[in-house]
Structure formats: structure tokens, C-alpha cells
Amino acid sequence: MKINEFISRYRKWLIICPVVITVLMLLPLTKARINPDLMQYFPKDIESKINFDSIESIFGKFEPILIVVEADNILDESTLNDLSELHDSLIYLQEIDDVLSLFTTKYIRGEEGTMLVDPVVNYVPSTPEEIETLKAEIESNPLASGIFISKDFKYATFIVDPAEGFTDDQILENIFRIVDLFREKENIYLSGLPYLRYEIQSKAVRDLVILLPLGLIIMLIFLYFSFRERRGVLLPFSVVLMSIAIAMGLMPVLGYDLSIIAILVPIMMIAIANNYGVHIVARYQELNAKNPDWSMKQIVNESVTRLYVPIILTALTTIFGVLGLIVHIMRPAKQMGIVSSVAIAFALIFSLLFIPAILLGMKKGKPRESFKSEEKHSLIDKFLVWSSNVSTKLSLPTIYAFISFLIIVGVGIIHLQPSINFEKMMPVGHSLRTSSNILNNNFGGTKNISILFEGDIKSPEVLKTMDKFETLLKSMPEVGSVNSLSSVIRLISRALNDPGDELYDKIPDDKQTISQYIEFYSMSGDPEDFEKIVDFDYTKALMNVQFKVSNMKDLQKVQDEISWLTNSSPYASLYAGQCLIEKEMAQSVVRGQIYSLVFALLAIVILLWIIFRSPVAGLIGSIPLVLSLICNFGLMGWLGLELDIGNSLLSSVAIGIGVDYTIHLFWRLKYELSQGKTYSDAVTETLKTTGRGIAINAISVIIGFSVLFLSGLVILKTFAFLIIFSLLLCLLSALVFIPALCIVLKPKFLEKNGKYIL
């Protein structure tokens, strides 16, 4: 049974079934939830995550929230009173386990032969003399200066340790409530992984609530101006709505959480799902204008008969392109590839069956004048006339121009870097970005690596090894501070001994003296001060290395030094840090990009080979994709845009969408050549007719993705910019470069059998 006969026979069911499926897929959305935890986006078996979990199993989970306070002078009496009140307010929250600040970190000193351990700020100074005394004490205290207060005394930090059993929302909203009381007096900024998760979730919800309706409205407006006919608007638009429902409904059905990447799924459906219906409506309008005596049934039958094969093929190439995401390292990328591919398949079915079934029950619309007149008025029509002239009359210069552009822009790839800073997801001026800049410029930095030591921690050998590590690491320009039990032992030795004494500022040579140092500290200070750096039986200890880096190369340099030190010591067993997980995630993003790119590109080349029964078709058809991807990554390099979890999806999406234009072009060219036309005439006719559908298709996709510019997340804005740039290149390649290339090469697969194959 032919497709047009099938549509006529089962017309009512082809209208009812898509509506029922859509309603059923909306029901699971009530169970959907957003997962903002970036750490869960990647496999659990990555080495850095395993090491990090090992340290957390010993010393407990530690995901602090950092609060940075800016003031003209932190030691000013009113400012210190505010900070003291802020500290007290935070510590009383049940959602907070502990708060480290100037009011809790210790000042270890000797006085009249005894050792005293007090908080750095034990009282709020009220006179200039007292302020200068406190300032001098802080400057001499490595446990405070550069860690809890900047060396210029303009910034102070609070390290807030959240209590277990509370969500990020509960913790942060209570912190906001307190911090807001002090923001009128002081500038306060927040940082930390829990805050990043909170911001991702809130912005993701906002984007779904605002961008999805806005994208749909923009799509409606564009379809109206493209077709100037209600059916041309509502029919492709209805397919978009149904595809979004299926894609989003599938996620909870398959047990997937909504990730930051999941925001792209409905936007992708807005951009892609209308493609196939657009071509059918465009062909309907063309036939309606050129054949005024035809009935609606004849027009619909001819439209479907002529287009169902290329539409199916373009949908398959899009599906295979998007399915390239299933080989991505990142779990949400795999999930996005699966649900998007299924939704695109339904969009294909609805476009080929639902839209024609609706059209069969409608009256013929008023013919479009642009199809009946040789004079083209719309911008799209004028562009197609220009592309026809350029590709047919200036074929070789056109090819040279594209190749030159490819080389110039593509060279930028050498500057491309993966992103290792999650805070860059947020816009400039966001609290996360501001606090990170302050921490990097005025404190030790935002990166931290912990080195685990095992053995008899009180033994001189272990502590001297730790001290050696500390000295070597502090000599690195990237390292801001290094703290461990050995740091504390040296501070105690300064308090208990006079300058010039043999034991002053040194690790003792015998375990008994070390044990006495620790006992002296316990008598004056709080033994729990050590719980974050050594376990209760002194068999395991941590050294915390704080540093600042801006790129992968510098991070690797610090890691290499720590790795060399760890491997050279029998006491240092492993090292771990959040930044190392971020680094491995960044490397995974690069690998995922490569895997999905190779998979999608090979799939497209093979499909084009099969479709047109020629390997040349696969090679020529993939040229626009290769050109756009090389130029895309080159542009990223020139503009300093880093490769992150958002634009790592770019290759598969761009390949899946961009190849459609070339297939439609080849298919119509093949038909025009089979009618005995020359290559120039065939190209001209193809661009005037099918080119219009291609252009409308591409622009609708671009408009669909453009709503991401209004996202609250920088990575989605960057994705929008890059995917639009890619699609524009694919469009120009399909309507200018490929026609010019075909005129020069005259590929035999387009002339094969001299017939238009259906």
C-alpha cells in the first residue's frame, strides 16, 4: 500500500493517535526532578573520584560554602562587630555543622614560658593601637593571613560546613536570610559547590519556565511570516508540541533526572521537530500555486509522494547524528541522545502522517504570489537568487573563498582549551564569579588538593616528610598556602621555644617531644581543631594544598609536582581534590566530544553512501559538516571560548541537523538533472524551489536555538552562539558551496540512471 493511500484510508486514526500519545507522555512529567549535581554526570569509576571518596570516608564529607566579605578595612570596629554577629548567626543554624573564620581559627603563641591558644580575634579592638596590635598578630599567623583574611585586610572569608540531612535549598535559603541582613553594610559574595548546585537548579527551572514558552512564541511568529497561512503555522507547530511532550515525558519514564543539559532537549525539539512539516507545507504551497486546477487530495498526494523519501532520509541522518551522543562520557549527554532521537522519530512520523491527514480535510488556501511570479520579493527569495548566481557563475572563486575561510578560522583550534572552572557557567558579575576572582587574587586560590599520609603520624620521619612537601609546594608560584599537622607543630615549636633555640620553628627529632607538643596544645586549645587534618589515632593525616590556576596546563603542572612528591614517599599514599575531578571531567568532555563526533560523522558518511549508492556522495555530503565543525572549534579558539559540558554536545547536534540541507539539495538536483537540464539550470531550479524549504528550515532551527541567549547560564548562551554559527555555515555550504562544487565536479551519482529515484 502506497503512503498516500494509507493516509487516506486511516486518516482519522492518524489524527487521533498522536494526540492520545502526547497526552499520555505528559503524565510522567509530574515525577520529573532536576539534578544539578555535576559530579553525578560522569562515571563513578574515574580515578580522581575514587581517591576523593577514599579521603571522605576517613575524614568525612566536606563540601563547604565560602562566604567572602569585602570592606574598606576588615579590622575596623564596626566591621568586625558585623562579622562577629554574622558568624554567631550562622553557627546557630541547625543546617550548619561548623563555621570557620577569624573568630575560630587559632593564634598560637608563647607567653612567659607557656603556650597559649586563642581565637585570632578574641576581642574587637576599639583603639588604633589595639587594631595595629591585632594586625601584627594576624600578619605573623600563617593559619589566618591569606586564609581567613587577605593580606591587605580588605577581605575576610567564612568557611561554612553544612550539616548532613539537609538539601542545598534548605541550607542556602537560610544562609541567604542571614547574609541579606548584612548586605546593606558590607559587600558579601558566596562560593562553593553547594551554592553552584543551587544556582544551576534555580536557573534551570527559570529557563524551562521562560525559554520554552518564549521559543514556541517566536517559532509561531516565524512560521507565520514564512508561510503567511494559518495551516503553515499550526501544523508544523503542533508537531513541535507533541515532540516536546514525548521527549520530556520519556525522561522520567526511563528513570532519567533532568540535568542542566536537559534544558536543551525541548529547545532542540522546537528547532528540529518542525523541519519535516516545513518541507511538506512549502511543497504544498508550491504545487498549489503552480497547479491551480489540482484538488487538495492531488496536492497532498503529490507532496507526500515526492518528499517522503528525502524526509525519511534526512530524519534518519539527524537521528544518527544525535545518537552520536550515546558514546559520550557524560551520562546526561547519553540520555539526551536517546530521548531526542526517539522524539525526532515521532516528529518524522507525525509530519508524514498527521500533517497530511489534517491537510486532506482542509480546503485549498490562497496561492502564494512568489511561486507564480518570476520576481522574488522576500529576503529568502532574494538570497536564493543571489546564491544561484554565485554558485553557477562564480563556481571556482566560491570554492576558493570557502577554503580560505576554513583555513583562517580553523587555525584557531590550536588555542582551544577545555574548561576547568565550573563558576564560568555563571554570568560575569555573578557572586560565584566575583568570589572566585577575590579568592584567586587575595587568598590562596579556589583550587584545593589534599594529600593523604599514612603511618605513625607523630613520628618525626612522617612529619618531616610533610614539612618537606610543604616547603617544596610553597615554592611554586601557583600555590597560595599549604597546611597540615606539620605546620601546626612548627607553630607550637615557635611558641614553646625562643628564636635561636635548637627546636625553634622545627619539627622535633623524637616522637616524645612531638607528643608533648600536641598535649600542650590540647591543654590550651581544642583537640577537635585537628579533626580535619588527622584522624583520632594519628595513623592518617591530610595536607591541604590551596592554589590558583586558570587553565589545564597550570593545573597539570601542580598535579605533576604533587604526584612526584607522593610517589617519592612511602608515607604519602594518595592525593585527591575537587579540582582533579573537574580536570578529569574536562578531559572526559574532550574525549566525549571526539567519540560522538567520529561516530556521528562516520554514520552520516555511510548513510549518504547508502542513500545515493556512491561513496562520493558520502564524502561531498559531509564537507559542509566538516567545514562547520572545524570553523566552529577554530572560532572558539580565537575567541577564547573553552570546551565545556555544554558545547561538548555541539558536534552531534550540528551534524545531525546540518546534513539535512545537503540531502534535500542532492535529491532535488538529481530530479532536475533527470529531466535533461544542465547543471547550471538544475542548480538554479533547485535553489528556487527546494532551496526555499531548506532556508526556512535552517532559519527556523536557528530561531529555535536563539532563545538560549536569554538563559541564565553562560554555557547555554555559548552553545546557542556556536550552534547558530555552525548551522549558518551548513546552510551557506548547502546553498552556495555544494552547488558550486557540483557544477565543477559534476559528480556521477547525481546523474545515475538518469532518473529521479523514489
Q: For 612-641, what is the mean pLDDT? A: 88
> What is the CATH architecture assignment of 3-39+198-366+378-415+583-756?
Up-down Bundle (1.20)
Residue with the larger pLDDT of the pair 378 and 624: 624
Q: Which of 35-49, 172-186, 258-272, 389-403 has the lowest mean pLDDT?
A: 35-49
Distance CA 295, CA 449 (A): 74
Supply the angle between the helices 264-272 and 650-674 in degrees, to the nearest 10. Answer: 10
Count of CB atoms within 10 A of residue 353's CB? 22
pLDDT of 373: 52
Ramachandran class of 508: left when φ > 0, alpha when ψ lies in -120 to 50, beta otherwise: beta
Please, what is the angle between helix 331-349 and helix 275-290, to 10°?
30
**Per-residue confidence band for 719, with pLDDT thresholds at 50, 70 and 90:** confident
The domain spans of the chain are 3-39+198-366+378-415+583-756, 64-191, 431-576
Grid cell for residue 111? 607567653
Across residues 281-291, what is the average pLDDT?
Answer: 82
**pTM of structure:** 0.82
Q: Which residue has the higher pLDDT, 302 or 755?
A: 302
Residue 372: pLDDT above 70? no
pLDDT interval class at 226 (50, 70, 90):
confident
Q: How would residue 753 be classed by pLDDT, with cut points 50, 70 and 90?
A: low
The C-alpha cell that represents 593 in the structure block? 566530544
202 burial level (CB within 10 Å; 0-12, 13-18, 19+): middle
Q: CB–CB of 353/276 below 8 Å?
A: no
Q: Residue holding cell 486546477? A: 293
Q: Which of 445-454, 700-709, 742-751 has the highest mean pLDDT?
A: 445-454
739 in Cβ contact with 672 (< 8 Å): no
Name the CA radius of gyration of the chain, rounded.
33
Task: Identify the CA nearest to 703 among candidates 79, 275, 262.
Answer: 275
Strand ranges inside 218-344, DSSP E: none
Q: Is the pLDDT of residue 757 over 60?
A: no
CA distance linking residue 487 with residue 473, whole number of Å: 13
CB 572 within 8 A of CB 452: yes
Question: What are the two backbone dihedrals, phi and then psi, of residue 429, each rounded to the nearest 5 degrees?
Answer: 95, -10
Can you give the pLDDT at residue 261? 74
Cα dist from 32 to 23, 196, 211, 334, whole Å? 16, 21, 18, 18
Nearest by Cα to 468 from 448, 484, 492, 444: 484
- Ranking 143-157, 338-352, 356-370, 623-637 by mean pLDDT, the lowest is 356-370
Cβ-proximal residues to 743 (8 Å cutoff; 6+ apart), any chain? 391, 392, 395, 679, 680, 683
CATH of 64-191, one of 3.90.400.10, 3.40.50.1580, 3.30.450.90, 3.30.70.1320: 3.30.70.1320
Residue type, 605: V
Using pLDDT thresholds of 50, 70 and 90, give the confidence band for residue 755: very low
Q: Which three cell numbers stand for residue 610?
A: 547508502
The pLDDT of residue 71: 92
123-164 pLDDT per residue, tens: 888 888 999 999 999 998 988 999 999 999 999 999 999 998
For 75, list phi and psi in degrees, rounded to 5. -85, 0
pLDDT at position 758: 30
pLDDT at residue 99, rounded to an integer:
93
Q: What is the pLDDT of residue 376?
A: 52
Identity of the amino acid at 68: V
Angle at 699 between CA 231 and CA 724, to 5 degrees: 145
Q: How confident is the model at residue 337 (pLDDT cuts 50, 70, 90)?
A: confident
The pLDDT of residue 754 is 41
C-alpha cell at 288: 498549489
- pLDDT of res. 369: 58
The β-bridge relationship of strands 187-191 and 96-100 is unpaired
Among 100-104, 156-160, 330-334, 703-707, the minimum mean pLDDT is found in 330-334
Whole-angstrom distance, CA of residue 271 vs CA of residue 183:
42
Lowest mean pLDDT among 246-250, 438-442, 529-533: 529-533
Minimum mean pLDDT range among 384-388, 441-445, 532-536, 663-667: 663-667
In the structure, how many helices (H) and strands (E) does the chain have? 28, 10
In the block, cell 511538506 appears at 280
Average of per-residue pLDDT across 33-60? 80
What is residue 704's predicted lDDT score, i.e. its pLDDT? 80
Enumerate the β-bridge partners of residue 542.
452
- The answer to which of 63-67, 376-380, 661-665 has the lowest mean pLDDT is 376-380
Q: Do domains 3-39+198-366+378-415+583-756 and 64-191 have the same CATH topology?
A: no
Cell triple for 170: 534548605
- Other C-beta atoms within 10 Å of 2: how many? 11
Average confidence (pLDDT) over 737-757: 76
> What average pLDDT does the structure give for the chain?
86
pLDDT at 473 (0 to 100):
95
Q: How far apart are CA 716 and CA 458, in angstroms?
A: 51
Predicted confidence (pLDDT) per residue in 572-585, tens digit: 999 999 888 888 87
**Percentage of the chain with pLDDT > 90?**
33
Under 8 Å between Cβ of 355 and 236: yes
Among the residue ranges 169-178, 267-276, 448-457, the one predicted with the least confidence is 267-276
Task: Return the pLDDT at 370.
Answer: 55
502: three-class secondary structure by DSSP: coil
pLDDT digits (tens, 9 = 90+) for 596-610: 778 777 878 888 888
